[in-house]
Amino acid sequence: KRNVQYISTGVKALDELLGGGIETRAITELAGEFGSGKTNFCHQLSVMVQLPEDKGGLKGKALFIDTENTFRPERIVQIAKYRGLDPKEALKNIFYARAYNSDHQMLIIDEAKKIIPKENIRLIVIDSLVAHFRSEYPGRENLAERQQKLNHHIAQLLKLADIYNAAVVVTNQVIAQPDMFFGNPLKPAGGNVIAHGATYRIWLRKGKENIRVARILDSPMHPESEATFKITEEGLID
Ligand code: ATP
Ligand code: MG
């Protein structure tokens, strides 16, 4: 297999489910309903990537592209402390970009190739990948244009991931649908473009209280199974 590396999620059960963690040179989609833990997961990975390799990281930095204004520095501080990092350093190692619309989001990715190698960025997060596209191109009449733009965006992301041996992690909303999707009346948004563009698709759902359940969708490499984790002050834990 081509030379890939893994970022530990910080959750043993999840790393096992994923065959080592979040893979570089790939796009991993986190899909799930509100409160299922997508944004927490993104914060966690932005810290985990910074750890040395013997602790599950890549000793690299993160680029966090925020479309919904849900990045919380204080959350990074909590997670970094728990993982034994200097919180100030951890924050400095996360390059933050607020994307104000879908064109801006794509522009940030175009520009990112300048800083990724210079800053040793090994993780690119987009939380959320599809929100701007969905609100700017609503309805059937805009579907073709929206999907074409998303397709281009995803291709650009995969290219960056491959060239710089970085992991790309994107979040996705789930939408109601008429047919059942893996036994669920919801399915990830973005249609085929994301279904085919994402290398790995992780479906998150809420359990009791702070418990969350992750399942990997349609991966040839991973048998269909689930892992549970908790969302706490310290981030995601077993
Ligand atoms: P959305 O679709 O609305 O963006 P999401 O999937 O991104 O949702 P998150 O924001 O990651 O979901 O998860 C929210 C959950 O995380 C809440 O249920 C909240 O209880 C929990 N949470 C957030 N901060 C903390 C914290 N400091 N300690 C414990 N739990 C927390
Ligand atoms: Mg969120």
* 15-73 residue pLDDT tens: 999 999 999 999 999 999 999 999 999 999 999 999 999 999 999 999 999 999 999 99
ipTM for the complex shown: 0.98
List the structure tokens of 21: 């963690």
Tokens 């397709």 correspond to 151
CA–CA separation, 204 and 76 (whole Å): 21
Q: Among 40, 67, 70, 169, which residue has the most ligand 1 atoms within 8 Å of its CB, making it the best to mutate? A: 40
Task: List, in sequence order, the alpha helices (H) in 164-227.
Answer: 191-197
Atom 18 of ligand 1 has which residue's CA nearest to it?
A: 35
Percent of the chain with pLDDT over 70: 94
Alpha-helix residue ranges (DSSP H) falling in the chain = 12-17, 38-48, 73-82, 87-92, 102-119, 131-136, 143-163, 191-197
* CB of 223 sitting under 6 A from ligand 1: no
From 231, 232, 237, the mutation candidate for ligand 1 (largest count of ligand atoms within 8 A of CB) is 231
pLDDT digits (tens, 9 = 90+) for 82-119: 999 999 999 999 999 999 999 999 999 999 999 999 99
Number of the ligand 1 atom closest to the C-alpha atom of 37: 11
Q: Which atom of ligand 1 lies closest to the CA of 68?
A: 4
| Predicted TM-score (pTM) of this structure | 0.95
Cβ contact 196:212 at 8 Å:
no
pLDDT at 234: 98
